[in-house]
Amino acid sequence: MRRFHHRRERRCALTGNVPKELAINLAAYRTASAVAEFAVYRLHPDEEYIFPKYYRAGERLLDLACGMGRTTLILHEMGLEVKGVDQSPVFIETAQRRFPYLSFEIGSYDHIEEPDESFDHVLISFNGIDYAFPLTQRMTALRESIRVLKPGGTLIYSSHNLKSLHWFSPYYRDQLRWKLANCHKAFKDWDYIVEAGVYTFYGSRECVIRQAEELGLKLLESRGFARFSSQSIDEYFSPYILYVLKKPAR
């Protein structure tokens, strides 16, 4: 029996009544090239460090913007009870064909169809939160994640680091023209930047933490690529940063 559902599609067709920029972002993840690009099932170094530290077998985890189940599969193998949700029907249908024993559903992270306080953890991996547009949708997605979290549960997500656009940063060497066009934005607090045709949120570490804390979350730690000996230096230069946040216990 196929365990993914189309409730969200029936309600708003996913691309109806949304900003042009968000419609472009959604369309980008429904193509054959997107399937090929995201068909990799392994953890990134920061995830290899963070996941065993905060996740325990038997806990319930909601994997939002799960793509084709990269993290869903690995978290299942770690012993968690995990459910994957993504707005792309192509990704979800591909994931369900590959892993029929896992639970997947088409849905949006700004309207999570789950009961209040029903998960121990919520994960939005690989900068998935950054494709919410406009900023109000991003903040709604964070509020929804907090709503379905149990008190004391964690919300872990990564986000593009605006400071990595400084010209002296060693990253984006293969995108020098794009970086030159956008490096002046590194002095801002946040911005949406068109990258590979997709409207992408970039924020400073301080901005991302402030967004979360204003919603009542507590920062436990943040981590960049860890390619430098100093984590503080890495968090300044890294293209994205992984944030571990906790919903306060009652």
pLDDT tens-digit series, residues 157-207? 999 999 999 877 777 878 889 999 999 999 999 999 999 899 999 999 999
pLDDT band, residue 6 (cuts 50/70/90): very low
Structure confidence at residue 47 as a pLDDT band (50, 70, 90): very high
pLDDT at residue 45 is higher than 90 = no
Residue 14 has pLDDT above 90, yes or no: no
Q: Is the pTM of this model over 0.75?
A: yes
Tokens of 228: 């430098």
* Residue 92 phi, psi (nearest 5): -65, -45
Reply yes or no on whether the pLDDT at 226 is more than 70: no
Give the dihedral sign, CA 163/168/173/178.
positive
Give the list of residues 6+ apart from residue 248 with CB closer than 8 angstroms, or none: 151, 152, 216, 218
Decide if pLDDT at 7 tops 50.
no
pLDDT of residue 233: 79
Q: What is the gyration radius of the CA atoms in the chain, in angstroms?
A: 17
Q: Please answer whether residues 235 and 241 qualify as being in contact, where contact means their C-beta atoms are separated by less than 8 angstroms.
A: yes
Token pair of 23 as six digits: 């419609």
